[in-house]
Structure formats: C-alpha cells, structure tokens
Structure 1
Amino acid sequence: MAFKRYVQVGRVVLINQGPNEGKLAVIVEIIDHNKALIDGPCTGVDRQPLAYRNISLTPYVIKAVARGMGSGAIAKKWQASGVDEKFAQSAWAKKRAARQAKADTSDFDRFQIMLLKKQRRSLVSRQAAKIKA
C-alpha cells in the first residue's frame, strides 16, 4: 500500500513531543532527512527545526505555502484554508479530546460515572427482561 502523506512544504503537522505538544504547525522548509523547519503563527508555535520523530503528518496540506515563506504570509494562508476547523472536526482530534477529558477526571467524577453506568445497565437489563418475557 502506498503512502498518502508525504513530508512536503505546506504539510500540516501535529507536534507529539516538547513544549508545543498537541499543537498544529506547517512545514516551511525541509532541512534534511531527519528534520524540517516548522512554523505555526496561528497556533503559537515559533518557527523552529523539529525532528520528524516528534511530529505526525496530518492529511491537510496548505498548497499556497512556498519554501521559506514568512510567518505573516503563512498566517494568512492558514486562516484562508480553515485548517483549525477541519482538524477540530476530524476523528483524530475528537479522540485526542476524549482521551484528554478522561485523563482530567477526578476521583469523584469517575465515581459519578460508575453510578450512572450502573443505572443505565439496570434499565437496559429490565427492558431486555420485559422483551424476553
């Protein structure tokens, strides 16, 4: 099966490690086979070289981004393409948000969730018993 996401100028990436973890950026320049120069003017990511092992390639490409383009021009292209909204609607972003929400729950929240699940299970089992009878 062929690859569908290539490292290319204009490719939107998700940062996996470091202080900008979880933020989106765009590849501005390919430095070598291990690193790329990324910039995320709309997401608060400074222009910096980053190793490919620390990023994930998203399916989104901003076609109008040229090699070495400045941050201001990238910000305009970013806003015009609507990458933030597209990524927020993706299953990938929704799974990340759900995982983060689960990690942020407190002990009491987990207890309340357990009680609600118990309640739901009871209702479902009663209805199933009625249908069988």
Structure 2
Amino acid sequence: MPFQRFVETGRVAVVSDGPNKGKLVSIVDVIDQTRVLVDGPETGVPRGQIRLSQLHLTKFRIRFPYAASTRVVRKAWNDEKINEKWTESVWAKKVASKEKRLQLTDFDRFKLRRARSRRNHIRTATFLCLRKAASRNGTLYGKKRMAKGGDKPRPGGKAKPQKAPKKK
C-alpha cells in the first residue's frame, strides 16, 4: 500500500500554521472533510478544531477511544512516549537544525564556511592520494593489471628480447 498516513483518531500531527506552529497534536475526532478536533496535552495546545491544511501528519499513532477526553489522550501520549519518539525522528532533527542555523551570527557562519573549506581540502587531498596509489598498483579501473616487465610473456606468446649490458 503506497499511502501510510491516514487522517484517523489518534494520528499525531505537526501544526504547520497559526499560533501553535511547530507543535505536536493528536487527532481526537474528524469533524468533516476539511476539519478535525485536535488535542495536544503535552505540548500546550488546547483542544479545538483545526483545518487539515494546517496539519502535517506524522508516522506516529496512539490508541485511545473515539472522542476521548484530554486526560485519556494525555495518558495514551505518555504511555506511547511520543515526545521521545518525536525527538529521535529525522524530521524533528531537521527542524532543530533549521532553527539552529537561523540563530547563527555572521561570525558563526564565517567559522562554518572555513571549517567546510578545510574539511573539503582534506577530503580532496586524501582522495587524490588514494587515486594515485590505485593507479600505481593497477586497481584504478577495477581489475589488477599485470606489471610491465622484461622477462614476462607477452600476449603473442613470445618473450621480449633482452638487451645486452653495455661494456665500459
């Protein structure tokens, strides 16, 4: 099944717009095709209706009865450890990274640029060194080639003639 995140009771979502932007909520009830009743007992979002266009559904879902009270939602939220799961998710880490980047000063951005430059220089130097070594031992293009030498047999089956040493 290609689609995994459905609008359903217990689905955890992130508010994308309004005064509670960025906070986690749980869908308590579906009002109609465009609105749902949400509750965020552990994130400080009061129970209320919100448009589906203001929500981003997550992969997390908690189990509680249909139209449960805030107390029941809070208990299910804590039992499933949604806050811990959310902070460990890639999505939350990306959001935290974006917020951290927005807080950087000019000097912090300068230091970051210099660190990247140094890292790329080290990476390039290491790559060139490895490529040179691979070229020398013949493994640059996959198969190891035979070393070039005077007394090794040639592809035609004839040995390469040896030159006589020069006399002084």
TM-score, structure 2 length as denominator?
A: 0.72
Q: Which residue of 1 aligns with 2:43?
A: 43
Q: Deviations over 1:3-44 (max 9, x none)?
A: 211111111111111111111110111111110010001111
Q: How has the CA–CA distance of structure 1 residues 5 and 125 changed in structure 2, closer, same or farther, with 3 Å as cutoff?
A: closer
Q: How has the CA–CA distance of structure 1 residues 16 and 129 changed in structure 2, closer, same or farther, with 3 Å as cutoff?
A: same
Q: Matched residue of 1:5: which SS?
A: coil
Q: Which residue of 2 aligns with 1:87?
A: 86
- Whole-angstrom CA distance in 2 between matches of 1:38 and 1:94: 24
1:122 correspondence with 2:121: yes
- Whole-angstrom CA distance in 1 between matches of 2:126 and 2:28: 58
Q: Matched residue of 1:39: which SS?
A: strand
Contiguous gaps of at least 5 residues in structure 2 = 134-168
More helix by share: 1
Q: Which residue of 1 aligns with 2:156?
A: none
Q: Percent identity?
A: 35
Q: Which residue of 2 aligns with 1:111?
A: 110
- Whole-angstrom CA distance in 2 between matches of 1:77 and 1:18: 26
In the TM superposition, structure 1's runs of 4+ consecutive aligned residues that sit over 4 Å from their partners are none
1:28 correspondence with 2:56: no
Deviation at 1:129, TM superposition (A): 4.1
The code of the aligned residue for 1:56 comes to H
Q: CA RMSD in A?
A: 1.6
Q: Which residue of 1 aligns with 2:5?
A: 5
- Whole-angstrom CA distance in 2 between matches of 1:123 and 1:2: 42
Q: Which residue of 2 aligns with 1:56?
A: 56
The code of the aligned residue for 1:116 comes to A
Q: Deviations over 1:40-73 (max 9, x none)?
A: 011111111000000011111112x222211112
Q: How many residues align?
A: 132
